[in-house]
Amino acid sequence: MMTNTLTIRQPDDWHVHVRDGDMLRSVINYTAAQFGRAIIMPNLATPITSVKLAEAYRTRILSALDPAHDFTPLMTCYLTDSTDPKEVEMGYEQGVFTACKLYPAGATTNSDSGVTHIDNITVVLETMQSIGMPLLIHGEVTDSDIDIFDREAVFIERTMFKLIAQFPDLKIVFEHITTKDAVDFVRASGPKIAATITPHHLVYNRSAIFAGGINPHLYCLPIAKREVHRLALRKAAISGSPKFFMGTDSAPHTVENKQSACGCAGVFNAPFAIESYAQTFDQENALDTLEGFASLHGPEFYGLKPNSRKILLERKDISVPDNYDIMDTQIIPFHAGETLKWHFAGLV
Ligand code: NCD
Ligand code: ZN
């Protein structure tokens, strides 16, 4: 029988960029409307590298929230070559930091202050391992001689294997995975290794970025790969394995910054995130595993309770706007102008 309504625990977004200032005020409530909690990425223009910066950022996020939403931002510490392990430990013990984020220097938006070599953060990683604090990894090598479509797979070979051997008890989330290689790596590794999967990497492959001309709104990092990889991601997401969970990587940029001679990487998917995932799971006849992926596996990995609230999803056509008027300009969302088959009817 066809499922037409679905009630699941309220999901969390385990990877999102909500920016700062006017942009923060414009986008945060899309995330807060759907998700109970979200892991807030620290890659602001001035990266969130200290407890003080994280507390101030959290306060700005909370003050941008519509009071109708009961939403908890979970803050992360941006690792650099000179991160002080004591700062990380203090932030974790005080409940300010939930995790640390590793950006290889130069890998993506605002990653210039990232880590230039993994050996520079050995003591930080030892500390995190001993206190049980998760490490969130943007898993791409940055060497310009490595083809952009190979950067995730090469990161596994060069860094991931070494990392899990050196820190066998460190909790690691391989963020926004895009390859079958990453799926296989995560599956083959122990229970401390998990991965997030975005809605957009489940929907399109690399050909779509160039279908009929260049589509800058499908450009994000890691870049979408071949179809075989998209299919592996879909299989992993619907598998029921606790190693895979939701992380939208919603990453808003203004239309000028996307449609440019040097367009920014990032897909803004926050307004219809759960709808997009629900449609994918439905296409795979796997609505029964959506709740695990959306709402249970993430909290379990992070050692948190699932949300007690529930949300209602209904099978119903919904139109995604062509754009959002934001800050005297626009942001073009994921699925712009499309009709999705599932509707988020709110909390129940
Ligand atoms: C993100 C951003 O714009 O901050 N962009 C993206 O393409 N995903 C950074 C990131 O997560 O790589
Ligand atoms: Zn991201």
Q: Would residue 325 count as lying in a domain?
A: no
pLDDT for 157 beyond 80: yes
Range of the domain at 154: 11-306
User: Where does the pLDDT of residue 64 fall: very low under 50, low under 70, confident under 90, or very high at 90 and above?
Assistant: very high
Closest-CA residue to 11 (of 41, 46, 43, 38): 38
Query: How many degrees, rounded to 5, is the angle at CA 41 between CA 36 and CA 47?
Result: 145
CA dist 201 and 234 (Å) reads 9
CA dist 252 and 268 (Å) reads 5
Ligand number, closest to the Cα atom of 247: 2
pLDDT for 1 beyond 80: no
Q: Would residue 90 count as lying in a domain?
A: yes
| Token representation of residue 177 | 């995975």
Q: Would residue 321 count as lying in a domain?
A: no
- Residues in contact with ligand 1 (CB, 6 Å cut-off): 17, 43, 108-109, 138, 220-221, 249, 251, 265-266
Q: Would residue 2 count as lying in a domain?
A: no
Q: Would residue 110 count as lying in a domain?
A: yes
Instruction: Summarize pLDDT for 274-312 with one digit per residue, the tens.
Output: 999 999 999 999 999 999 999 999 999 999 999 999 999
Q: Tokens 């407890």 map to which residue?
A: 51
Pairing of strands 329-331, 339-347: unpaired
* Total of domains in the chain: 1
Model pLDDT, residue 110? 92
Taking only Cα atoms into account, the Rg of the chain, rounded to an integer number of angstroms, comes to 19
User: Where does the pLDDT of residue 45 fall: very low under 50, low under 70, confident under 90, or very high at 90 and above?
Assistant: very high
Question: Ligand 2: distance of its center to the CA of 3 in Å?
Answer: 32
Q: Which helix (H) or strand (E) holds 311?
A: strand 310-319
Model pLDDT, residue 223? 98
User: Where does the pLDDT of residue 69 fall: very low under 50, low under 70, confident under 90, or very high at 90 and above?
Assistant: very high
Model pLDDT, residue 62? 98
User: Where does the pLDDT of residue 25 fall: very low under 50, low under 70, confident under 90, or very high at 90 and above?
Assistant: very high
Instruction: Summarize pLDDT for 312-345 with one digit per residue, the tens.
Output: 999 999 999 999 999 899 999 999 999 999 999 9
CA dist 49 and 42 (Å) reads 8
Q: Would residue 339 count as lying in a domain?
A: no
**Could you write out the DSSP letters of every residue in 166-198?**
H-TT--EEE-S--SHHHHHHHHHS-TTEEEEE-
Model pLDDT, residue 327? 86
CA dist 272 and 94 (Å) reads 33
Domain of 59: which CATH number?
3.20.20.140
Model pLDDT, residue 2? 85
Instruction: Summarize pLDDT for 85-110 with one digit per residue, the tens.
Output: 999 999 999 999 999 999 999 998 89
Q: Would residue 97 count as lying in a domain?
A: yes
Question: Ligand 1: distance of its center to the CA of 247 in Å?
Answer: 12
Model pLDDT, residue 133? 98
Instruction: Summarize pLDDT for 173-197 with one digit per residue, the tens.
Output: 999 999 999 999 999 999 999 999 9
Nearest CA residue ID for atom 5, ligand 1: 266
Nearest CA residue ID for atom 6, ligand 1: 266
Nearest CA residue ID for atom 4, ligand 1: 109
Pairing of strands 13-16, 324-326: unpaired
Q: Would residue 340 count as lying in a domain?
A: no
Which ligand 1 atom minimizes the distance to the CA of 175?
Answer: 11
Query: How many degrees, rounded to 5, is the angle at CA 232 between CA 208 and CA 42?
Result: 75
